[in-house]
């Protein structure tokens, strides 16, 4: 079905020109948009018309590093021990949580995250999943949930040695099954310090076999570097480089906080993309990256803390002022870089027919010249009124069209209770 948006004030996401126009949106992963003077009175096929009078229409957003598995963590019981460092945060919070996830909880987590993404105008999600005692079918469960809401995605399972060889092999098998079924995805790895050499080798071979990249946490905390030096006599990026992990198509390295000059050079000269997650770094107190010399392949993620890319952009901007001296165009480019990542690596689901209608009633005028000031200080996700994913209207007037919001949240709360009982 063709979708028409009438009376739009269209903002071209690349050159920031503003055009008063109607828009014809065609559906599908290979669909596009056409700016038209008026909507045909008798369209050639069934059509849906959305009136955007007084609203702004622009390209929707993407998340470069998410963890739907953490959705049910909000408000959960306190850990057995208050963590004193990053490793203890993993041990007492996240690894305790992910070990208790079952497929029903994963489904609820994926649906709730997808709901929030959709309502925030995020139509493409790169996710990194963990559920060590329910790996089989986990990626397919997340895919089904995302597809039902209408989001495009690039999923992976975070393979590691932290729970032994059997579970490592299950992670590899789930990844292989998922990719073999023709789904676009990464080969996920947790982090250098939980991934032995055999595991790393198998993961990179698998990625090569399916012409995709790896998605891994890199030097999120200094302990990752210390472990790598002690066990492999080299630093993390060097280790991944030596193993062939930097030549793959579409690899994502999350965080990359504690890198030395040589690692930055390796990264800059590779094809790897960095996903920055500033709020998570502050929350875990692991330090903040100065990404000034990382090259231009940096995009933004949320690290599972939320599904709001405006929020990520604003946090990255404020942090970047003090580290790299980031500018308005600099933060906007980083916010939009995910589109370049998807396009350059040939992934599907992020064509021009991914749009958001913003109901942004500003106290001052907004135009091409000052848009970036509004982007940093004014517009936020609460202004996302309607959202179009691959040409399909998935949120209309702030209501999810592709599912029942109350049912999804009721199911999530039910699964949250079930999980929390297991955590105690």
Instruction: Give residue 289's Cα distance to chain centre.
Output: 19
* Residue (65 or 314) nearer to Zn ion, CB: 65
Judged by CB, which is closer to Zn ion: 219, or 395?
219
> Is residue 395 a contact partner of residue 384, using CB atoms and an 8 Å limit?
yes
* DSSP 8-state secondary structure symbol assigned to residue 129: B
From the list 248, 343, 235, 253, the residue with the least C-alpha distance to 64 is 253
Closest contact distance (angstroms) between CB of 47 and Zn ion is 41
The CB-of-254 to Zn ion minimum distance in angstroms stands at: 5
Sheet holding 122-127, edge to edge: 61-66, 122-127, 152-154
> Could you tell me the smallest distance in angstroms from the CB atom of residue 182 to Zn ion?
26
CA torsion 323-298-207-260 (nearest 10°) is -30
- Residue nearer to Zn ion on the CB measure, 163 or 385: 163
For Zn ion, the binding residues in 47-106 under the rule CB under 5 A are none
Give least dist CB 311 to Zn ion, A: 16
Q: Pick between residue 279 and residue 303 the one whose CB is nearest to Zn ion.
A: 303
Q: How many residues bind Zn ion (CB under 5 A)?
A: 2
Contact 122, 61 (CB under 8 A): yes
Q: How far is CA 35 from the centre of its chain?
A: 29
Q: Which is nearer to Zn ion, 66 or 392 (CB)?
A: 66
Span interacting with Zn ion, options 132-140, 160-168, 180-188, 295-303, rule CB under 5 A? 295-303
279 binds Zn ion (CB under 5 A): no
Q: Which stretch binds Zn ion (CB under 5 A): 30-38, 87-95, 107-115, 303-311?
A: 303-311
22 versus 303: smaller Cβ distance to Zn ion:
303
Which residues are bridge partners to 273 per DSSP? 252
How far is it, in rounded angstroms, from Cα 253 to Cα 274?
5
Which residue number, 223 or 265, has a Cβ lying nearer to Zn ion?
Answer: 223
Is 303 a binder of Zn ion (CB under 5 A)? yes
The residue among 63 and 206 lying less far from Zn ion, judged by its C-beta, is: 63
Residues 124, 349: Cα–Cα separation, whole Å: 7
In the complex with Zn ion, the residue whose CB is nearer, 91 or 208, is 91
Three-point CA angle 105, 308, 332, nearest 5° = 145
CB of 191 to Zn ion, least distance (A): 9
Name the residue among 259, 322, 326, 270 with its Cα closest to residue 295.
270
Coil, strand or helix: which one is 354? coil
* Rounded Cα–Cα distance for residues 415 and 110 (Å): 12
Instruction: Give me the residue whose beta carbon is nearest to Zn ion.
Output: 303
**Which range, of 3-11, 110-118, 286-294, 300-308, touches Zn ion by CB under 5 A?**
300-308
Residues 236-265, mask of contacts with Zn ion (x by CB under 5 A): ------------------x-----------
Nearest-approach distance from CB 315 to Zn ion, in angstroms = 15
Q: How many CB atoms are located within 10 Å of the residue 274 CB? A: 26
CB of 307 to Zn ion, least distance (A): 14
CA–CA separation, 394 vs 123, rounded Å? 9
CB of 223 to Zn ion, least distance (A): 15
Q: Assess contact for 1 and 48: CB atoms under 8 A.
A: yes
- For residues 157 and 206, give the distance between their C-alpha atoms in angstroms, rounded to a whole number: 13
In the complex, what is the shortest distance from the CB of residue 407 to Zn ion, in angstroms, rounded to a whole number?
29
Distance separating alpha carbons of residues 273 and 14, to the nearest angstrom: 20
Contacts with Zn ion by CB under 5 A lie at 254, 303
């Amino acid at each position: 079905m063709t979708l028409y948006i009438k009376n739009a004030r269209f903002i071209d996401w690349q050159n920031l020109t503003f055009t008063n126009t109607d828009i014809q949106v065609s559906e599908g992963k290979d669909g596009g948009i056409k700016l038209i003077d008026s909507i045909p009175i008798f369209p050639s096929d069934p059509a849906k018309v959305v009136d955007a009078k007084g609203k702004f229409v622009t390209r929707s957003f993407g998340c470069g590093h998410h963890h739907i598995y953490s959705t049910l963590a909000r408000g959960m019981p306190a850990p057995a021990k208050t963590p004193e460092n990053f490793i203890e945060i993993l041990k007492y919070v996240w690894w305790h949580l992910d070990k208790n996830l079952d497929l029903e909880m994963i489904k609820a987590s994926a649906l709730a995250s997808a709901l929030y993404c959709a309502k925030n105008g995020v139509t493409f999600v790169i996710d990194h999943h963990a559920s060590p005692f329910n790996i089989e079918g986990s990626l397919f469960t997340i895919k089904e949930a995302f597809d039902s809401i209408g989001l495009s995605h690039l999923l992976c399972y975070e393979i590691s040695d932290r729970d032994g060889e059997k579970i490592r092999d299950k992670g590899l098998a789930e990844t292989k099954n998922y990719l073999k079924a023709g789904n676009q995805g990464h080969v996920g790895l947790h982090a250098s310090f939980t991934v032995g050499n055999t595991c790393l080798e198998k993961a990179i071979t698998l990625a090569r076999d399916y012409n995709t990249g790896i998605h891994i946490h890199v030097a999120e905390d200094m302990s990752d570097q210390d472990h790598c030096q002690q066990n492999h006599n080299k630093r993390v990026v060097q280790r991944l480089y030596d193993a062939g992990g930097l030549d793959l198509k579409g690899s994502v390295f999350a965080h990359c906080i504690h890198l030395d000059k040589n690692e930055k050079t390796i990264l800059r000269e590779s094809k790897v993309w960095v996903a920055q997650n500033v709020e998570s770094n502050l929350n875990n107190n692991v330090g903040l990256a100065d990404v000034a010399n990382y090259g231009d392949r940096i995009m933004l993620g949320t690290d599972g803390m939320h599904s709001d890319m405006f929020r990520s952009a604003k946090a990255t901007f404020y942090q970047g002022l003090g580290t790299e001296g980031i500018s308005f165009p600099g933060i906007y480019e980083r916010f939009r870089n995910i589109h370049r990542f998807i396009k350059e690596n040939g992934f599907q689901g992020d064509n021009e027919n991914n749009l958001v209608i913003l109901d942004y009633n500003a106290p001052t005028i907004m135009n091409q010249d000052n848009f970036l000031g509004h982007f940093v200080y004014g517009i936020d996700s609460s202004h996302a009124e309607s959202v179009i994913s691959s040409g399909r209207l998935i949120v209309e007037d702030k209501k999810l069209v592709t599912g029942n919001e109350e049912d999804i949240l009721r199911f999530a709360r039910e699964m949250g209770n079930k999980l929390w009982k297991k955590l105690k």
